[in-house]
Structure 1
Amino acid sequence: MPTPLDELQALAEQFEALDVRLDDDRPDRIVAAMNRPKVLNAIDETMVKEFHALCQWLEDHPMILIITGTTTPHPKDSSRQRGIFASGADIAQLRERRRADALRGVNSKIFSRIKALPMPVIAAVDGFALGGGAELAWAADFRVATTKVRVGQPEVGLGISPAAGAMWRIKELAGEPIALELLLTGRILNAEEALEHKLVNSVHEPEDLMAAAHELADNIAKQDPLAVQVTKRVFQMPPAAHPWVDDLGQAILFESEAKFDRMQAFLDGRKK
């Protein structure tokens, strides 16, 4: 009988825009690499559909998700590679979209679904993360970046506005002044600036990016999975829901076997 991971592997084999990687040594996580290097990982409807399919699996089988990009030959030196997270929405498709398409909320729905996944999501960002690519990064719970990262929202220069989370997520992450500057001027931040404004959690050399993402995932994986899920869900509740929702979350965890086992192990450790 196929296991859930067998089902995921079969699903991933049908994907065109996402390269889903499973690691036998790390059974608590999945790496999803956007893989449209010829168009700098522009987010098209195929990629969106594949993210939805992946989210459906992760909603049923909670695991840590690492989202990353790919590499492409450097435009000035084909012997070198450069990293790319996502250059934004596919402009060729975006050019043809009309009012009804905007009201469908193609990107905003999938980014909100990614944000709401039961276990944490880590964006491992190298190179350009612009427009919708940046909004995908903002939807993650953590962002680890490289020294080559460039992030921003250039939509107003294309005659549109960001509509997949940047309007409020940047303000929540970094505050209103820098949010307005990015949204209204199209300013692109480098890695140092992104770290200064708390838009990324850490910065690393490109060759160390995935190791940093996995180290963060390792630290999450050491915790009790149910406690992580409850904490993430309660954290995302609106201010008016607190403190009552905090008490409800704690009530769930107070009855879990992991709570008794982990606390007993802690007490036993103190006796040694």
Structure 2
Amino acid sequence: MYQTLSTQLENGILTITINRPEKMNALNQQVLADLALAVDEIYSNRDIKGAIITGAGEKAFVAGADISEFLTLSDKQGEELAKKGHVIFQRIESSPKPIIAAVNGFALGGGCELAMACHFRIASDNAKFGQPEVNLGLIPGYGGTQRLTQLIGKGKALELMMTGDMINATEAQAWGLVNHVLKPEELLPKAIAILQKIKTKAPLAIARVIKCANAATDKDQDGFELELKEFGACFATKDLQEGAAAFVQKRAPNFTGE
């Protein structure tokens, strides 16, 4: 089904591996097309409760974009390429099901942008993050100027984007870019464990948490007003009735997403 991805669905968790290790899993137009299909599958397949995005091999999550594709692009074509990335990464960020980036090495340029589009990031202790586009006469084009600023603050984001420097996993965690830093062999088990815990919660509530949290950085939405509406909407769900009853009866809830 995919030319540049390998996928595995187990116990409701879809693991998406960007599989171009010979190119350090660099993003090209085929990877973007395959990611778009995989994200569609996350949205539409009821058996998928959450997803992990990672990279093949031990060196790179995604080490950037495939620069060879840039050499022949006009300004308009460059803008169109960026639009494709924006659409796909926005779909990841807006997914009603949790998507975790398991960053297992270099996450540079478009790779850092892909990781930031996920709901949160965990990293192996050999991971490195950066937006080195200025070294090529470029800027981040897949939402990186916005998401990096939102996640770590304007001053740090500007320093990283203007110097092109990389930071290691420990620095990324200290700056708020990464939630957990682990040994490489612990990375995927940790991501799976987090998603297994989230799977036990009410799926409609999880989707509403994602929606409201995203509104906090959306200038076109009033996040507080959205929270009021989404909180109220929970009271029309069977999941709330089940959760409240289970709490009173001192038992584990059985949520159905209704």
Normalised by the length of structure 2, the TM-score is 0.91
Which residue does the alignment assign to 2:44?
60
Supply the distance in 2 between the matched residues of 1:57 and 1:137 (Cα, whole angstroms): 19
Please give the alpha-carbon distance, in whole angstroms, between the structure 1 residues aligned to 2:62 and 2:74: 23
Q: Does 1:197 align with 2:175?
A: yes
CA distance, structure 2, for counterparts of residue 242 and residue 184 of structure 1? 31
Task: State the Cα distance separating 1:70 from its structure 2 match.
Answer: 1.0
| Deviation of the 1:250 alpha carbon | 1.6
Q: Which digits, 9 at most, give the CA deviation of each residue in 1:3-46, with x for residues without a partner?
A: xxxxxxxxxxx2110101111xx12x211000001111011111
* Distance in 1 between residues matched to 2:168 and 2:202, nearest whole Å: 35
* Alignment-derived partner of residue 201 in structure 2: 223
Structure 1 moving runs of 4+ over 6 Å: none
The residue correspondences of 1:182-193 to structure 2 (distance < 5 A) are 182-193=160-171
Secondary structure of residue in 2 paired with 1:228: helix
**Which runs of 5 or more residues in structure 2 are unaligned?**
252-258
Unmatched tracts of structure 1, length 5 or more: 1-13, 72-81
Distance 2:224 2:88 in 1: 29
Taking the aligned partners of 2:175 and 2:210, their CA distance within structure 1 comes to 23
- Tell me, in whole angstroms, the C-alpha distance in 1 between the residues paired with 2:247 and 2:199: 18
**Deviation for aligned residue 1:100:** 1.5
Q: Is structure 2 residue 34 aligned with structure 1 residue 50?
A: yes
Shift of 1:263: 0.8
Q: Which amino acid aligns with 1:250?
A: F
Aligned to 2:233: 252
Tell me the residue number matched to 2:211.
Answer: 233
Aligned position for 2:254: none
Q: How many residues align?
A: 244
The reply to whether residue 128 of structure 1 matches residue 106 of structure 2 is yes
One-letter amino acid of the structure 2 residue matched with residue 90 of structure 1? D
Q: Secondary structure at the match of 1:208?
A: helix
**Superposed displacement of residue 175, structure 1:** 0.7
- Return the alpha-carbon distance in structure 1 between the equivalents of residues 107 and 213 of structure 2: 26
Question: Which of 193, 210, 213 matches 2:191?
Answer: 213
Deviates more, 1:123-132 or 1:106-115: 106-115
Quote the residue 2:243 is aligned against: 262
How large is the Cα RMSD of the aligned pairs? 1.4
Q: Residue in 1 aligned with 2:24?
A: 40
Matched, 1:89 2:65: yes
Q: String of CA shifts for 1:125-153, please: whole Å, max 9, x gaps.
A: 01111000000001111100011001101
Q: Which amino acid aligns with 2:86?
A: S
SS at match of 1:199: coil
Q: How does 1:12-31 map to 2 (within 5 A)?
A: 14-23=1-10, 26-27=11-12, 29-31=13-15
Aligned partner of 1:69 in structure 2 is: 55
Task: Name 2:131's counterpart in structure 1.
Answer: 153
Give me the whole-angstrom Cα distance separating, in 2, the residues matched to 1:111 and 1:97.
21
Q: Secondary structure at the match of 2:100?
A: strand
CA distance in 1, matches of 2:140, 2:6: 26
Q: CA deviation at 1:247?
A: 1.8
- The 2-side partners of 1:162 and 1:140 are apart by 16
Structure 2 residue aligned with 1:181: 159
Aligned residue type for 1:133:
G
Q: Give how far 1:255 is off.
A: 1.1
Partner residue, 1:6: none
Aligned to 1:119: 97
